[in-house]
Amino acid sequence: MIVDVYDDMVVFERHEVGEGGKLGPDWVLPLNWGTGRHPFSREELKKAIGAPEFGKNAKLVVTVENPDTPLLRVTIPIADGNPDSRPYAYNVVVAGDDPKARYFKSEYFSGVNSGVGHEPNNGVTTVDMPLSELPVGKKLTIAVRPVSSLGAKGKSIGTTWTNT
């Protein structure tokens, strides 16, 4: 972090120093915030930053990989719909014929430790799940939700995959 101190505020610039790039917008701490909630409390940061969101044209891609031990691979585009909130992880839920029998997996965003614009594979994250562990069903529903480092959850995107 680069910290600039002024008479009425402190500005925190969050940088990734290995490859370069900022980790998101600057955080501003007013020095006259009074006796209310601290501006850097988890709740206040969540309000100010919001949740990561997928862009309106974001789509999941589902393929089957590795014929020896078949895996369902879900390719997730970067959740860059809210420039103030970066994804930290993606929560993946798979449901089959029985809506109560669900498979859940949380996967780190592939660019979690990278500066904006320096994410590997342009920020695309892949999640592999063994077909043998997924719920039973000819048609599976897959939903992915972005989650920030503060635990704020964005809207999910989804798709269906038909087991042929």
Same domain, 67 and 20: no
In a domain, 56, yes or no: no
pTM of the entire structure?
A: 0.79
Rg of the chain in Å (alpha carbons): 19
Which pLDDT tens digit goes with each residue over 75-108? 999 999 999 999 999 999 999 998 888 999 999 9
Q: Tell whether the model's pLDDT for residue 163 goes beyond 90.
A: no
Measured from the Cβ of residue 19, the count of other Cβ atoms closer than 10 Å reads: 12
Number of domains in the chain: 2
What distance, in Å, lies between the first and last C-alpha atoms of the chain?
51
Q: What is the mean pLDDT of residues 24-51?
A: 80
Same domain, 38 and 91: no
Among 13, 29, 49, give the residue marking a domain's end. 49
Residue percentage of the chain with pLDDT more than 90 = 55
Which pLDDT tens digit goes with each residue over 130-143? 999 999 999 999 99
Its domain, for residue 141, covers 61-162
